[in-house]
Structure 1
């Protein structure tokens, strides 16, 4: 089996390394700073394995007309299932650097969205649009 590592620079603080040639999809994700933008979701479900550094993740749960915010510490050696619809952002890197192994668990389910929360209301926009639309 021949493996190929294909780098993809997503921002100045986030690099993804696609691992090609495995019998399944996988990527290494390297963060050097927290999420600079708004909270987001993903186009597919995945499992993330924290390899080094760790992070504090803020999770936003929309429950009827209420937004519940939960902060969770993700430490090296742990694994976590993330649904495509989970709204989250990385708010702290305790060591200033983090590497994860991400393994998709489904095909493309949806378009990625970004979210804003203001005065008890939630707004979202598709990743390739500029305008935020009320969610609740």
Structure 2
């Protein structure tokens, strides 16, 4: 088995390293600053293993009335977490100013990626490749 790593720079503070040649998909994610963009979800479910650093993650859930509930969770080195494609989140703090995770997808693509904004308690979203935010329908 020949392993290779393909680097992808997604922003100044976020790099992804795709591991190729494993019998499953995997990537190392390296963060050097909090996520200052809009909260987002993902196109697939995955498990993330915190290898070093840790972070505080802000989770957003939209209830049946369309209102937004917010929860902050500390993710520490050595822990693992299941993230559903529909989970809306962002990293808001890196206590050690550096974090490395191992991400292993648990499903194929199940939906497009969205970015979110929450205005006056209501949710708006846009597709990752579009500019316009539209109301999220409950």
Common fold: TM-score over 0.5: yes
* Residue 23 (structure 1) shift: 0.4
* Residue 40 (structure 1) shift: 0.2
TM, length-normalised to structure 2: 0.97
Deviations 1:41-92 (A, max 9, x none): 0010000000000000000011112211000000000000000000000000
- Distance (whole Å) between structure 2 residues aligned to residue 6 and residue 119 of structure 1: 41
Match of 1:121 in 2: 122
Match of 1:20 in 2: 20
TM, length-normalised to structure 1: 0.98
Structure 1: state its 5+ residue gaps: none
- Distance (whole Å) between structure 2 residues aligned to residue 10 and residue 23 of structure 1: 25
Give the paired residue count: 136
Give matches, 1:76-87, under 5 Å: 76-87=77-88
Structure 2: state its 5+ residue gaps: none
Match of 1:89 in 2: 90
SS of 2:61 mapped into structure 1: strand
CA RMSD of aligned residues (A): 0.7
| Structure 2 residue 110 is the aligned partner of structure 1 residue 133 | no
* Residue 121 (structure 1) shift: 1.0
- Distance (whole Å) between structure 1 residues aligned to residue 121 and residue 56 of structure 2: 23
- Distance (whole Å) between structure 2 residues aligned to residue 121 and residue 67 of structure 1: 6
Which stretch has the larger CA shift, 61-70 or 82-91? 61-70
